[in-house]
């Protein structure tokens, strides 16, 4: 559990959850101090970025008629549910790993 507060007054839990709002805060947390020194925040920022890449990949598949559309709909629902789960887990201070994406995020965050 991570309940520290950075110098900006933003708690680690809030920063971890904020990383999931869009890719922009995730990138900011990876380059701005003191966030880029915190492995908890870096993990959630990387997981958010990889989640965005996964959504982009299934949106490309949507170009394919019928089968692509079906994959896009099911994939979007799955990623939406995953996004809600990781957002809530980050708010609680948990480092919840999504399958495959979580392993990549841990490797990038140096956990």
pLDDT band at 111 (very low <50, low <70, confident <90, very high): confident
33-62 mean pLDDT: 94
Inform me whether the pLDDT recorded for 81 exceeds 70. Answer: yes
Report which of 47, 58, 57 is spatially closest to residue 20, judged by C-alpha positions: 47
Q: What is the rounded CA–CA span in Å between residue 59 and residue 75? A: 9
Q: Enumerate the domain spans of the chain.
A: 12-104
Q: What is the pLDDT of residues 7-40, one digit of tens each?
A: 556 899 999 999 999 899 999 999 998 899 999 9
Predicted model pTM: 0.86
Inform me whether the pLDDT recorded for 103 exceeds 80. Answer: yes
């Amino acid at each position: 559990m991570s309940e520290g507060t950075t110098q900006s007054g933003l708690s680690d839990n809030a920063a971890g959850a904020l990383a999931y709002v869009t890719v922009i805060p995730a990138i900011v947390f990876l380059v701005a101090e003191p966030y880029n020194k915190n492995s908890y925040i870096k993990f959630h920022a990387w997981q958010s970025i990889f989640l965005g890449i996964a959504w982009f990949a299934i949106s490309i598949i949507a170009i394919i008629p019928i089968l692509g559309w079906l994959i896009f709909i099911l994939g979007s629902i799955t990623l939406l549910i995953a996004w809600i789960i990781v957002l809530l887990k980050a708010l609680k201070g948990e480092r919840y790993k999504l399958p495959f994406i979580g392993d990549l995020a841990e490797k990038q965050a140096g956990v």
